[in-house]
Amino acid sequence: MLLRLARPALVRVTAAALALACALPALAQSDADLLRAKDAFDRGDRRRLDLLAPALKGHVLEAYVGFWQMKLGIDTADAADVRRFLAREAGSPVADRLRVEWEKSLGRRGLWSDFAQDYAATPADDLEVSCYAWQQRRATEPDAVRSAARAAWFTGQATPDACEPVFAWLFAQRALDDADRRARMRLASEVNNVTLAEALGTELPGAARITAREYRNVDRDPARALAKGTFAWKTPGGRDLALYAVERVARKDAGAAHASWARWRDRVTPEERAYADRRIAYHGARQLDLSALDWYRESGPAAGSVEEIAWRARAALRVKAWSDVEAAIAALPATEQQESAWRYWKGRALAGQGQAAAAQALFASLDSDLGFYGLLAAEARGVALPTMALAAQFTPAAAEVAVFGGRADVQRMRKLLELDMRPEALREWAYLVRNQSDEALLVAAAYARDVGLYDRAINAAERTAARHDFALRYLAPFRAEFAAAARDQGVDEALLYGIARQESRFVPDIVSSAGAVGLMQLMPATARWVAGKLARTDFKPATIASVQLNTQFGAYYFRFWHDRFEQRPALTAAAYNAGPGRAQSWRPLAVPLEGAIWVETIPFNETRDYVKKVLANSVLYARVLNQPHISLTDRLGVVTPRGGTASALAVGAP
């Protein structure tokens, strides 16, 4: 999570600004009181917060002070006071946040009349609140509650305590049964929620029950337990315990799980066998085992969860089994099949089977996609860029931008950023741009660009549906620094911009939850290492966020690994995000692999998405920077096996 945003720069000095300067001491004091109030709220110190509140009347963030006060006293708050606040601040983040807290408080206290009155106004997208609503409505709307609450049961994650009375009611109504307990136990095991899986297993009755001792015997050494196969195969509980062991082993070593499971899988039901076969194949595909597709085939036709089917398609891609790719995509839910990724890969699968016309039709359907797959699809059609990249820009009038900047909610957002209250500022921005027309979004984007909020400018510009501004989507600030870093370190400037856009959205002093800093998101240890390599004796940790230093150091670090990964941007981007060791381990074992397929089969969702965006960004930034066009296909190239020159990774490099 990104923690801080640079304070916005003032763009001009006006008479109003000069007048405001006279009041700066008072404003500074007021802001200091606001931060003290926030600290009191964070500490749960209601008394101190109440003492500070009167001095903050009229402050641009006064509503936040009121929200903090009400939240700390939510269980004793007067309903009329809460409703007045909600009406006064309607449509704001603080109003919606307070409503959720209020509904939870009413539900906890069983004040169902008040709950019904306030919940009906704005239903919250919050499972705890939903569970209170189901408690309140189950007597009057049993059919609707049964349907909605039953769906909430099927998760591998823990659910709020508020849901337990509803689930108990569903079991009493026979809307849930022991088979559903077993299904949720599998879901919990799949997401490695061992605590929930074991709790559900021990709650099952009779022969379906798995004891705590039986779980412990497996947990001590899952591989040994599965190899020995000493399960009570004739009982549902014994077979479920075997499936639990399969999951635990396959998560670490799918090949070992397959070898052991092959000895026992005839002892379970056909459904249980297919399930275990799919789970082994799924983990094998994510471990890039070339046998994964064969294991999927052993499980029968494509079936299972969206993730299992998606990785079946990826396992087939890895070995270019195009008919299997097509069949797996066809087994996905209809909404998933419409995703750009699967339309592109279905087109490739059709082309790979000689159906060129059908493939070209699918590629043409991606002409409005400016991302990774839209670029690849355009290139497959012999077109350099999708039409969207070449569309005429919409430029908002300066007067519209000025009016937007004067809005109260925009001023709240700016003040929150100024006070380093980034999460609150991002919520305000989300409310500013939700459900807006393309024109309104581009006005917001232009304003954000003009005041130096580049990340918000990109955020708004990316939301447009029909009218676009390519220059706002692909802002290129800090041109002098990026150009110098690219020149000095011998790196393609478009690639540097592609990385920075993905890493920081051009917020100079941003800090990630892991401690990475600045435009290129450098870890302090990495910055120290680069400083040594560049003989920068003047380097100090406090200067990491400096735009000049951060771009130079980031460019050097990228080039260092780019050289060791044979100048292959996909591998280098993966190394930049997930570490060079992981990028190296994901390379093919023996046969070179098409770059696009290699990226699609990166096991980490975050890194897979990162590499796609960085490389697509680099193609589009080449246009922004007036560089010669290099296709995405060429940038992806071919990924060579692990035995190539990059196998000798640098010792001591971060």
Distance CA 440, CA 581 (A): 45
Q: Is residue 362 part of a domain?
A: no
Q: Is residue 538 part of a domain?
A: yes
Is 420 within 8 Å of 4 (Cβ atoms)?
A: yes
Q: Encoding tokens for residue 184?
A: 């949720």
Q: What DSSP element (H or E) covers 410?
A: helix 408-418
3-class secondary-structure state, position 593 = strand
pLDDT of residue 29: 74
The residue ranking higher by pLDDT, 218 or 465, is 218
Burial class (CB in 10 A: 0-12, 13-18, 19+), 480: exposed
The residue ranking higher by pLDDT, 261 or 388, is 261
DSSP 290-335: TTHHHHHHHT-SS-S-HHHHHHHHHHHHHTT-HHHHHHHHHHS-HH
Q: What is the crossing angle of helices 79-88 and 62-72, to 10°?
A: 150
Q: What is the crossing angle of helices 547-564 and 479-489, to 10°?
A: 40
Q: Which of 4-8, 125-129, 212-216 has the highest mean pLDDT?
A: 212-216
Structural domain containing residue 533? 479-647
pLDDT(16) > 90: no
Lowest mean pLDDT among 33-42, 84-93, 392-401, 587-596: 392-401
Residue 591 CA to its chain's centroid (Å):
32
What are the CA-CA distances from residue 188 to residues 184, 192, 195, 217, 231 (Å)?
Answer: 6, 6, 8, 19, 20
Is 249 within 8 Å of 257 (Cβ atoms)?
A: yes
Entry pTM: 0.92
Confidence of residue 224 (pLDDT cuts 50, 70, 90): very high
Q: Is residue 261 part of a domain?
A: no
State pLDDT tens for residues 465-496.
888 898 999 999 999 999 999 999 999 999 99
Distance CA 176, CA 164 (A): 13
pLDDT of residue 122: 60
Q: Encoding tokens for residue 373?
A: 């797959």
Q: Is residue 146 part of a domain?
A: no
3-class secondary-structure state, position 255 = helix
Burial class (CB in 10 A: 0-12, 13-18, 19+), 355: middle
pLDDT(629) > 70: yes
* Residue range 415-432: mean pLDDT, rounded: 96
Confidence of residue 121 (pLDDT cuts 50, 70, 90): low
Specify the number of domains making up the chain: 1
Distance CA 247, CA 276 (A): 8
The closest of 176, 292, 186 to 239, measured between CA atoms, is 186
Distance CA 199, CA 196 (A): 5
* Residue range 182-198: mean pLDDT, rounded: 98
Confidence of residue 566 (pLDDT cuts 50, 70, 90): very high
Query: CB 335: neighbour CB atoms within 10 A?
Result: 8
Rg, the chain, Cα only: 28
In eight-state DSSP terms, residue 6 is P
pLDDT of residue 651: 55
pLDDT(7) > 80: no
pLDDT(582) > 90: yes
229: left (phi over 0), alpha (psi -120 to 50) or beta: left
Sign of CA dihedral 482, 484, 486, 489: negative
595: domain CATH number? 1.10.530.10
Q: Write down the residue that tokens 């670090």 correspond to.
A: 557
Confidence of residue 28 (pLDDT cuts 50, 70, 90): low
Q: Is residue 101 part of a domain?
A: no
The closest of 148, 242, 229, 254 to 189, measured between CA atoms, is 242
Confidence of residue 107 (pLDDT cuts 50, 70, 90): very high
Q: Is residue 615 part of a domain?
A: yes
The closest of 576, 584, 573 to 635, measured between CA atoms, is 573
Is 56 within 8 Å of 33 (Cβ atoms)?
A: yes
The closest of 47, 110, 108, 37 to 67, measured between CA atoms, is 37
Is 105 within 8 Å of 75 (Cβ atoms)?
A: yes
What mean pLDDT value characterizes the chain? 93
Distance CA 312, CA 225 (A): 27
3-class secondary-structure state, position 2 = strand
pLDDT(644) > 80: no
In eight-state DSSP terms, residue 627 is P
State pLDDT tens for residues 310-356.
999 999 999 999 999 999 999 999 999 999 999 999 999 999 999 99
Q: Is residue 265 part of a domain?
A: no
Pairing of strands 638-639, 593-594: antiparallel
Confidence of residue 258 (pLDDT cuts 50, 70, 90): very high
Q: Encoding tokens for residue 611?
A: 């590499």
The closest of 37, 88, 46 to 65, measured between CA atoms, is 37
Q: Is residue 494 part of a domain?
A: yes
Confidence of residue 266 (pLDDT cuts 50, 70, 90): very high
The closest of 445, 487, 497, 500 to 621, measured between CA atoms, is 497
pLDDT(31) > 50: yes
Cross-strand bridge partners of residue 114: none
